[in-house]
């Protein structure tokens, strides 16, 4: 297919495809999905080999968010039956982080619900970062706290943060359809603040909210223009009790096409499969490793994910290897760029409150699979609220 050959050549040269080419990837048929994966895999291997970076989420403060993001189980007015608790103490957060590190995670992502941190919140998170760094040598830490005020990114950097995550989520044209309590420009401003402070910027999207192909291409090109080190790709989990509970728009094949399009547009950037992979990719998850070079290990913010051991087995069985702490994630030309010593951002799908709605449960035994699922039917059996790990007395999934 001439399109795919052209896209591979451009990806190896770090050249952006045209909008028409990106749209054409999303428009390919299910019959061609393996050809699309094989082409994008050439770009992925060129820049990242067969390494898979593992990231681990610690939900520092869960629920009761004043923002109205439609996709989020922690949103204002959410009726989702999620865990709700206030700030974890630094030692408790560090213990949670250690579970992920012992499971193979290279980066820990510290997330808190809310519009954005107060200065006191920044002090609290800074203490948590220092505690984690003291107790877990060589771990990378990413903060995901929402909209930043002037000077806050610099304070997080001084405390030892390596990265900051804030997702654009969807196109500028449709942003007001999913959130009204802040703007698309607010999000762009926070990503730029992280960049300016020397933090590795992490910003991505959520697919499956009813958006068009044009919306997906628009947000990915906007992300390329912002030049984050990491682009997490979330697949919406329609939590009961949220406005998007009925939005079941994804198939495994469409998820693969979306990941391939992101890889072609952002060839040398860490592309992470984030929330929702278990629910929407399901048994096709190993194929997605040929497109993305990073995943989350274990559970998400308010939802359960595939068992950590199953993640590691999947990586090995698919012929990939877990990236070690002494390996640099990004290609040399990016790792030596504007983020100083900070390479690859790691905060995936999870900003402020936003990604608590993402993650699957049935794969890891938290819900029995339906006896005879039909293609295209909503897989509500794979959606499970997190009941273990941070904020509970039960051991985490890592």
**What is the rounded CA–CA span in Å between residue 386 and residue 330?**
31
339 tagged catalytic? no
pLDDT band at 345 (very low <50, low <70, confident <90, very high): very low
Q: Which domain holds residue 222?
A: 40-382
Exactly one of 75, 107, 142, 254 is catalytic; name it.
142
Exactly one of 72, 144, 266, 339 is catalytic; name it.
72
- Judged against a pLDDT cut of 50, whether residue 142 lies above it is answered with yes
**What is the rounded CA–CA span in Å between residue 51 and residue 277?**
18
How many structural domains does the chain have?
Answer: 1
pLDDT band at 233 (very low <50, low <70, confident <90, very high): very high
Query: What are the binding residues?
Result: 65, 69, 72, 109, 142, 202, 272
Query: What are the binding residues for [4Fe-4S] cluster?
Result: 65, 69, 72
Q: In sequence order, what are the residues at sequence separation of 6 or more whose Cβ sits closer than 8 angstroms to the Cβ of residue 225? A: none
The answer to whether residue 25 is domain-embedded is no
Residue with tokens 């290897």: 321
Exactly one of 44, 75, 107, 202 is catalytic; name it.
202
109 tagged catalytic? yes
266 tagged catalytic? no
pLDDT band at 352 (very low <50, low <70, confident <90, very high): very low
The answer to whether residue 85 is domain-embedded is yes
Lowest mean pLDDT among 34-48, 309-323, 337-351: 337-351
pLDDT at 373: 66
pLDDT band at 366 (very low <50, low <70, confident <90, very high): very low
The answer to whether residue 15 is domain-embedded is no
**What is the rounded CA–CA span in Å between residue 133 and residue 146?**
22
The answer to whether residue 17 is domain-embedded is no
CATH of the domain at 88: 3.20.20.70
pLDDT band at 302 (very low <50, low <70, confident <90, very high): confident
pLDDT at 100: 94
To the nearest whole number, what is the mean pLDDT of the chain? 89
**What is the rounded CA–CA span in Å between residue 267 and residue 227?**
12
Lowest mean pLDDT among 47-61, 76-90, 173-187: 76-90
pLDDT at 94: 95
Share of the chain above pLDDT 90, in %: 72
The answer to whether residue 282 is domain-embedded is yes
The answer to whether 142 and 345 are in contact (CB under 8 A) is yes
The answer to whether residue 290 is domain-embedded is yes
The answer to whether residue 140 is domain-embedded is yes
- Note the pTM of the prediction, 2 decimals: 0.90
388 tagged catalytic? no
Each residue's pLDDT tens digit, 101-129: 999 999 999 999 899 999 999 999 999 99
- Judged against a pLDDT cut of 80, whether residue 256 lies above it is answered with yes
Exactly one of 75, 124, 257, 272 is catalytic; name it.
272
Query: What are the binding residues for [2Fe-2S] cluster?
Result: 109, 142, 202, 272
- Judged against a pLDDT cut of 80, whether residue 356 lies above it is answered with no
pLDDT band at 47 (very low <50, low <70, confident <90, very high): very high
Exactly one of 44, 65, 266, 364 is catalytic; name it.
65
The answer to whether residue 34 is domain-embedded is no
69 tagged catalytic? yes
Among 94, 97, 87, smallest CA distance to 128 is for 94
What is the maximum span of the chain, computed from C-alpha positions, in angstroms?
56
pLDDT at 1: 76
- Judged against a pLDDT cut of 50, whether residue 50 lies above it is answered with yes
């Amino acid at each position: 297919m001439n399109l795919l050959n052209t896209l591979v050549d451009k990806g190896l040269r770090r050249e952006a495809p045209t909008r028409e080419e990106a749209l054409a990837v999303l428009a390919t048929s299910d019959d061609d999905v393996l050809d699309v994966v094989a082409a994008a895999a050439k770009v992925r291997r060129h820049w990242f080999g067969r390494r898979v970076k593992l990231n681990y989420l610690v939900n520092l403060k869960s629920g009761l968010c004043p923002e109205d993001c439609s996709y989020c189980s922690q949103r204002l007015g959410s009726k989702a039956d999620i865990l709700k608790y206030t700030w974890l103490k630094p030692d408790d957060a560090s213990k949670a982080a250690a579970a992920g590190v012992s499971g193979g995670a290279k980066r820990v992502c510290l997330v808190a619900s809310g519009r954005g941190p107060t200065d006191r919140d920044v002090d609290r998170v800074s203490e948590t970062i220092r505690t984690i760094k003291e107790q877990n040598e060589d771990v990378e830490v990413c903060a995901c706290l929402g909209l930043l005020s002037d000077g806050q990114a610099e304070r997080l950097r001084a405390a030892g943060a390596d990265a900051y995550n804030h997702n654009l989520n969807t196109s500028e044209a449709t942003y007001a359809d999913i959130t009204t309590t802040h703007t698309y420009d607010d999000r762009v401003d926070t990503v730029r603040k992280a960049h300016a402070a020397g933090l590795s910027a992490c910003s991505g999207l959520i697919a499956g909210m009813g958006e068009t192909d044009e919306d997906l291409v628009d947000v990915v090109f906007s992300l390329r223009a912002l030049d984050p080190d990491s682009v997490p790709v979330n697949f919406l989990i329609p939590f009961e009790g949220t406005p998007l509970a009925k939005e079941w728009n994804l198939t495994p094949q469409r998820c693969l096409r979306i990941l391939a399009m992101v890889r072609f547009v952002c060839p040398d950037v860490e592309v992470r499969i984030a929330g929702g992979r278990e629910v929407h990719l399901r048994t096709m998850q190993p194929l997605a490793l040929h497109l993305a070079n990073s995943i989350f290990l274990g559970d998400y913010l308010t939802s359960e994910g595939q068992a950590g051991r199953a993640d590691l087995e999947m990586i090995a069985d698919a012929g990939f290897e877990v990236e070690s702490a002494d390996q640099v994630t990004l290609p040399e030309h990016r790792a030596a760029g504007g983020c100083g010593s900070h390479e690859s951002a790691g905060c995936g799908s999870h900003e402020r409150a936003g990604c608590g709605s993402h993650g699957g449960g049935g794969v890891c035994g938290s819900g029995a699979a339906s006896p005879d699922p039909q293609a295209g039917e909503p897989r509500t059996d794979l959606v499970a609220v997190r009941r273990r790990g941070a904020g509970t007395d039960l051991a985490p999934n890592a």
